Structure 1
Amino acid sequence: MQHKQDPSEGTHGDLLDIIRESLGLSDFADVLEEARRFLSLPQLEPVLNTPAPKLAPAPSGMSEAARRLLSMSSPLKGSLAATYLRSRSITDLRDTGALKFHPNCYYRVQGEDLTETWPAIIAAVTDLEGKVTGVHRTWLARDGGSKAPVDTQRKAMGDLLGHAVRFGVAKEVMAAGEGIETVLSLRQALPRMQMVAALSAGHLAALLFPANLRRLYIVRDNDPAGNGARDSLVARAHEVGIEAITLSPMLGDFNDDLVTRGLDALRAHIRVQLAPEDVSRFMTQDHVTRRSG
C-alpha cells in the first residue's frame, strides 16, 4: 500500500504548496506573501533586530480541539509510542515533553464516512511563549512496531504557521527541521541542543524566530522542497542578523542516516558541519556511557 503524508508534512495539499503551484510562484517569499493575503494576515515589513511579525491565529475551535486531544493523552515513556520510536533507532527521549501517547486516536478514512481508532503519537505544536496552538498525530500499528496501515499516517490540526513542536529549552543556538523523527534523530547526536520540528517544508520556511536566537542550524531534508525551505530560512535569518548554518544528511534525511548508518556515523557526519565551539558544547558522549553502563 502506498502511504500518503498529511499536508502538514509538506508533500500533498499544504496551503503553501497549493498557492505555489496554482500561481506558478517559485520564490518562497512570494508564496508566503500570498498566503498571508489569502488568510487575511498582516503583510510582513522587514524590520531589523526583530525575529518576525506576529501572525493572526487560526480559528480558535481547531486550536481548542487540539488542546483537548493533548489533555486526553498520556506520557510517552513506557508507551507504544516509545516502542515505535525505538524501532526508528530513537532511544534518547530527554526533553520530549511535547510528545504524548493516545491508545485510541480517531482516524477518518479518506473519501468515506468511516472512522477507526489506532494508537498514535500526539505532538504539541506551540508558539514562542509555549502556548499550545495545534497538535500533530502519527498513527501507529497496534504493536508499535511501525506506522499504522492507513492511507494518511500523519495529520496536523490547529494554528501551525510560524509554530513548531519543540524539544529542549530555547537558547541562543537552535536547530530547526521539518519532521519530528528527523529532528529527534539529530537530537540523538546533539541531545543538549534545542530543536524544533515545523512539520513541513512550507512551515519550516515560515518559522518564527525566538528573540534571543543568534545561530540557527537548518536541518535540511535532501529533496527540492527541503532546499527551498533552507534558502528561504537562510534569507530570513540573515535579514535579522541570525547566523544560519545548514546541516545536510548523508541520505534522504537524518532518520534515514540514523537507521541505515548508525549513531556513530551520524555523529561523525554532523561533527564537521557544526561551528567549532558547538562541538564541545552540544556533542556529548552520554550515549557511550549509557550503552556501556
Structure 2
Amino acid sequence: MLSASDLADRLAQNAESVCRHYLSAGRRAGNYWLVGDVANNKGRSLYVHLIGPRAGRWTDAATGQFGDLLDLVRETRGLVNFRDVAEEARHFLSLPHPEPVSARRTRGGDASPLERPTAERARRLFRKTQPLAGTLADIYLRERGILRASTHGALRFHPSCYYRDLVTGRTTSYPALIAAVTDAAGAITGVHRTYLSSGLDPDGVGKAKLDDPRRALGGLLGNGVRFHFPVDAPVPVLAAGEGLETMLSLSHVMPGMPMAAALTANHLAAFRFPPGCLRIYIAADADAAGRHGIEGLSRRAQECGVLPLVLSPELGDFNEDLRWLGPDRLTASLRAQLTPEDAMAYLPA
C-alpha cells in the first residue's frame, strides 16, 4: 500500500489533473493553477505549482494556507481522518486522466515554446521589443500619471505580443507593455506583460479586455522589475512593492530611489535584498494578499538585519494617489513617512 509520501508524489506527478478535478473553477496560467480558494471559488489567490521541483505545492495568498496535494484533497473534500484522505487520493489515482496540455503539445520530439526554459523564452521576447517612448504603452502609462516611464530601461513595447487563452486554447496577439524582471546582478530572468487595447477606445488606452491582461513569464522568485538600481554598488535604501504601476508612481516623485516591483504578493515576500541594504520601504496594497506580502517581507528583513518601513497610500494604491491627488500631495504624504535623511535625499525640496 502506498505511503503518504508516495501518494503525495503520485499526485504531484499528475498535478494538473488533480487541479482540474478538485479545483475545476480555476485555470492554468503558465506553470501554475490559479483559483480563488480551497472551496473552489473563482479567483486567483490560491496557486498550485504544476511542474518542477515544487510541483504539487500550493499556497493561498489571502489566508496563508499552504501544503501539498494531499492537503488539498483533504481541504476540498472536507475530510478529517487521514485514512479517508488516502482513500480519496487512491480513488483519484485509479481514474484515467488526459495528458496535460504541455505533454500533448510536445509529443513527437519537436521542441515547442512550452518546452524551452522559461527564462530563455523571456529573454527572447524582450529582445524582440522596441523602446517605450511614444508607443501605445507609453501613452497607457502617461494616462495614469506616469510621465517619465520611457527613461527606464526595464520597460519596452511589443506591438503584437502572443497571447493564448488558457481555457479555450485560442491564440491571438495584442500590443503589450513589457517589463524585464532581473536578478541582483541585472540579468533578465523573466518578463511581465501587460496586454493593451488597440488604442481606439474612446476612453483612452487601457488594458485589453481579457480575463488576465497581465501575465508573467520566467523566474520571478526573489527577483523584480528594477528602477534606478546602481550597477555593482551597494544599495543601502530601496523601495519594493507588488505592482508595476504602484512602483512607477513612487518613482515618478522619488526618481533617485532604487525601486523594485515584485509583481505578486508572494513574490514580494520572497524578494532578495541587494548587497548593503540597510532599509527597505515596502509599498502597501490594501488587499489581504498585499498584507501577506508585506508581513512576509518584513519578517525576512528583520531576520537579515534590514529595517522594514511600510509606505501607505491615502487612497487604494499609490497610482490612485498620483492620479487623483496629484504629485505634490503624494510627495507630501511620502515626506511624512520617510526617515528625515531619506526625505532629504530622495524628495524634491
TM-score range, shorter chain: 0.7 to 0.9
- 8 Å CA contact 1:220–1:246 kept in 2: the answer is yes
CA distance 1:11–1:184, shift in 2 (3 Å): farther
Matched, 1:112 2:168: yes
CA distance 1:60–1:280, shift in 2 (3 Å): farther
Match of 2:206 in 1: 146
Candidates 123, 131, 134, aligned match of 1:67 = 123
After superposition, what is the alpha-carbon deviation per residue over 1:5-42, rounded to whole angstroms, capped at 9, x for unaligned? x77999445448x72349x9737xxx5xx69xxxxxxx
Q: Structure 2: give runs of 5+ residues left out of the alignment.
A: 1-26, 35-42, 50-56, 69-114
1:178: how far off?
Answer: 0.2
CA distance 1:183–1:8, shift in 2 (3 Å): farther
Candidates 219, 222, 226, aligned match of 1:159 = 219
Instruction: State TM-score, norm by structure 1.
Output: 0.79
How far, CA to CA, are the matches of 2:33 and 2:327 in structure 1?
A: 28
Q: Structure 1: give runs of 5+ residues left out of the alignment.
A: 36-58, 286-293
- The one-letter code of the counterpart of 1:274 is L
CA distance 1:8–1:119, shift in 2 (3 Å): farther
Matched, 1:278 2:342: yes
Matched, 1:132 2:188: yes
Instruction: State TM-score, norm by structure 2.
Output: 0.67
Match of 1:177 in 2: 241
1:93: how far off?
Answer: 2.5
After TM superposition, the structure 1 = structure 2 runs for residues 29-40 of structure 1, keeping only pairs within 5 Å, are none
How far, CA to CA, are the matches of 1:15 and 1:281 in structure 2?
A: 42
CA distance 1:136–1:275, shift in 2 (3 Å): same
Candidates 240, 255, 262, aligned match of 1:198 = 262
Which of 1 and 2 has greater Rg? Answer: 2
Alignment RMSD: 2.6
How far, CA to CA, are the matches of 2:33 and 2:198 in structure 1?
A: 24
Secondary structure in structure 2 of the residue aligned to 1:155: strand
CA distance 1:73–1:13, shift in 2 (3 Å): farther
Match of 2:309 in 1: 245
How far, CA to CA, are the matches of 2:142 and 2:44 in structure 1?
A: 25
- 8 Å CA contact 2:45–2:289 kept in 1: the answer is no
Secondary structure in structure 2 of the residue aligned to 1:20: strand
- The one-letter code of the counterpart of 2:239 is A
CA distance 1:8–1:259, shift in 2 (3 Å): farther
Match of 2:324 in 1: 260
How far, CA to CA, are the matches of 1:63 and 1:265 in structure 2?
A: 40
- The one-letter code of the counterpart of 1:132 is I
1:97: how far off?
Answer: 0.5
How far, CA to CA, are the matches of 1:68 and 1:77 in structure 2?
A: 21
Match of 2:11 in 1: none
Secondary structure in structure 1 of the residue aligned to 2:59: helix
1:103: how far off?
Answer: 0.2
CA distance 1:226–1:188, shift in 2 (3 Å): same
CA distance 1:211–1:188, shift in 2 (3 Å): same
CA distance 1:21–1:198, shift in 2 (3 Å): closer
- 8 Å CA contact 1:125–1:164 kept in 2: the answer is yes
How far, CA to CA, are the matches of 2:138 and 2:60 in structure 1?
A: 37
Match of 2:142 in 1: 86
Aligned length: 251
How far, CA to CA, are the matches of 1:160 and 1:267 in structure 2?
A: 30
- The one-letter code of the counterpart of 2:64 is S
Match of 1:227 in 2: 291
- 8 Å CA contact 1:101–1:119 kept in 2: the answer is yes
1:92: how far off?
Answer: 2.3
- 8 Å CA contact 1:81–1:120 kept in 2: the answer is yes
How far, CA to CA, are the matches of 1:90 and 1:77 in structure 2?
A: 12
How far, CA to CA, are the matches of 2:281 and 2:138 in structure 1?
A: 26
After superposition, what is the alpha-carbon deviation per residue over 1:96-128, rounded to whole angstroms, capped at 9, x for unaligned? 100110000011123213111111011111111
